[in-house]
Structure 1
Amino acid sequence: MAFDAIAGVAHAPAGDETGIVLLTHGAGGNRDSPMLVKLCDEWASRGWLAVRYDLPYRRRRPKGPPSGSATADQAGIVEAVALARSLTKGPVLAGGHSYGGRMTSMAVADGLAVDVLTLFSYPLHPPGKPERGRTEHLPLITVPTVFTHGTSDPFGTVEELRSAAALVAGPTELVEVTGARHDLGSKTLNVPALAVDAALRYCDPNPAKFR
């Protein structure tokens, strides 16, 4: 399969794909995270090829927190985007949950070219430690960036995240999930649909519109 090299699982649309979406997991998770599965199903239902994949540290061992270097995990994201670019002439979107989203955002800040960055429960700081913000690279991001965040997330309040998003050089949108914590679980809102709707607003055939 095309995505075996990145330990990826593809959700294919019914017809020809519009483009490819790449999503990866949080620090303690893997590609089979229920949220990633739901997100990829939603993207596929909208005509996109959606791929959920494991970061390099998760490919090395099935459980546990990130091990090795963040640089190696970012290299895995670069590899995934390069593979997607080789398979489609359409847009390539990338992002992930928590740690996976943060690593993707750092790769994009370092020059990785994606059309839209979609981040879920961005870990703005460790719980209870707002002084340890993870925002240094955000001003280097120039592509449209969508943050989907729960209002009860201990890794950052919505107000803190809104301030952090203002640092991004490209256009941003914040999807607030009322009452949700870090897992973005909600009994009243269709989180995947809201997140995909927001990202699609930036998938314009004329990228210059957002520069």
Structure 2
Amino acid sequence: MSVTDEILTPRGPARVDTDVPAGAPVALLVLGHGAGGGVDAPDLLALRDAAVAAGLVVVRVTQPYRVAGRRAPAPAGHLDEAWSVVLGVLRDRHTGLPLVVGGRSSGARVACRTATTVGAAGVVALAFPLHPPGRPERSRAAELGTGLPTLVVNGDRDPFGVPESGPDVRVVTRPGERHDLRGDPSGTAAVVRDWLRDRGWTPA
């Protein structure tokens, strides 16, 4: 069961939904939503369930523009600013836990752009939008270059493209999935859970 509250940011209040494991937590996973969606997307909910069961505190963050009822996303700088303020508060609430940041689509981009600033140990990027549909020349691959362990999970039919693996970036392509990753949310969550375990962020 989630506990919901709000954190004030310079861009308005952000909403945070926090789920805690039954025992002592081993890490903190903070997730953001897509540009026009919310934190109840099937892949985010499946990941929440799997991660909480694996011993993580999971916090899903709703950006201020969505709390205010707008669907059109705020500028990238505003998203990053609000996210960073929220992460500062969450780190104070959950001191001593390794921080893993992530999200789906736009939320994954925000997590990547701010990962080092907020002190993250790793990044989980679901449906990372490599480029606008039909515009492969407008690549956002550089955003994945955080220098931190990063997991990308994309569908092989995603019109936003699929990034390539790199020295710190592992890319898992889910067959038959599109950008929404709705085909097999539990399978996507299992990929992330196993990666978290491999990194030592869940019990062995």
Shared fold, TM over 0.5: yes
**Partners in 1 of 2:79 and 2:54 — Cα distance?**
29
Q: Which runs of 5+ in 2 are unaligned?
A: 8-13
Higher helix content, 1 or 2: 1
**Partners in 2 of 1:9 and 1:37 — Cα distance?**
11
**Partners in 1 of 2:143 and 2:28 — Cα distance?**
25
Higher strand content, 1 or 2: 2
Task: Report the TM-score when normalising by structure 1.
Answer: 0.83
**Partners in 1 of 2:180 and 2:153 — Cα distance?**
11
Is the Cα–Cα contact under 8 Å of residues 125 and 152 in structure 2 kept in the other structure?
yes
- Please tell me whether residue 98 in structure 1 is matched to residue 100 in structure 2: no
Shift in CA distance, 188/71, structure 1 to aligned 2, threshold 3 Å: closer
- Percent identity over the alignment? 29
2:63 aligned partner:
55
Is the Cα–Cα contact under 8 Å of residues 25 and 98 in structure 1 kept in the other structure?
yes
- Residue 187 (structure 1) shift: 4.4
Task: Report the TM-score when normalising by structure 2.
Answer: 0.86
Q: Aligned to 1:7, what secondary structure does the other structure show?
A: strand
2:189 aligned partner:
192
1:175 aligned partner:
172
1:27 aligned partner:
35
Q: Which runs of 5+ in 1 are unaligned?
A: 206-211
**Partners in 1 of 2:41 and 2:80 — Cα distance?**
20
Is the Cα–Cα contact under 8 Å of residues 37 and 52 in structure 1 kept in the other structure?
no
Shift in CA distance, 70/88, structure 1 to aligned 2, threshold 3 Å: same
**Partners in 2 of 1:121 and 1:99 — Cα distance?**
9
Q: Highest relative contact order (Cα 8 Å, sep 6+), 1 or 2?
A: 2
1:115 aligned partner:
121
Is the Cα–Cα contact under 8 Å of residues 152 and 172 in structure 2 kept in the other structure?
yes
1:45 aligned partner:
53
Shift in CA distance, 81/189, structure 1 to aligned 2, threshold 3 Å: closer
> How many residue pairs get matched?
193
Q: Aligned to 1:80, what secondary structure does the other structure show?
A: helix
